[in-house]
Amino acid sequence: MKTAVIFWSGTGNTEAMANAVAEGAGVQAVSVSAFDGDLTEFDAVALGCPAMGAEELEDSEFEPFYSANEAKLSGKTVALFGSYDWGDGEWMRLWCDRAKAAGAKIIDGEGLICNNTPDDEALAKCKALGEKLAKGG
């Protein structure tokens, strides 16, 4: 199963999560600014973005990328993940709802969130998420 792990990170927390997801999936994580592929070429996609502003996706790089590729998630197995520092994870619930509306099959029906820097337990969950993603959910 061809798998991609694409992320945006401002502090390194979501990048650490992305690297653990990628390790579990057996692929390399790539930042959204460096991704030059086409999501239609992948069977499974992991997308990582932290909560920004008023619990929303990062708006200068990640949101434009996501909006441009949202329709390409239809029928794909998708894992969503990211870190946050405040709030209760609303950005992830909204993002999951948005991805489901686009036709994505979200692993476990929800995204994986981590408060600030991922600890060993959070990184283990990320790795397990990547393993599940690579097996098709």
Q: What's the pLDDT at 72?
A: 97
pLDDT attached to residue 1:
85
| Average confidence (pLDDT) over 97-110 | 96
Tokens found for residue 35: 């991704």
Integer Cα distance of 4 and 77 in angstroms: 11
Query: DSSP letters along 55-97, please?
Result: TB--TTTHHHHHHHHGGGGTT-EEEEEEEESSSSSHHHHHHHH
Secondary structure of residue 9 in the 3-state scheme:
coil
Please check the confidence at residue 137 and state whether its pLDDT lies above 90: no
User: Each residue of 24-33: pLDDT tens digit?
Assistant: 999 999 999 9
Question: At residue 127, does pLDDT exceed 90?
Answer: yes
Q: 3-class DSSP state for residue 31?
A: strand
CA angle 120, 126, 129 (to 5 degrees): 145
For range 108-132, the mean pLDDT: 96
From the centroid of its chain, how far is CA 121? Answer: 18
Residues in the chain: 137
pLDDT band at residue 80 using 50, 70 and 90 as cut-offs: very high
Q: What is the pLDDT of residue 39?
A: 96
Strand partners, 83: 114
Q: How confident is the model at residue 98 (pLDDT cuts 50, 70, 90)?
A: very high
Three-state secondary-structure class, residue 30: strand
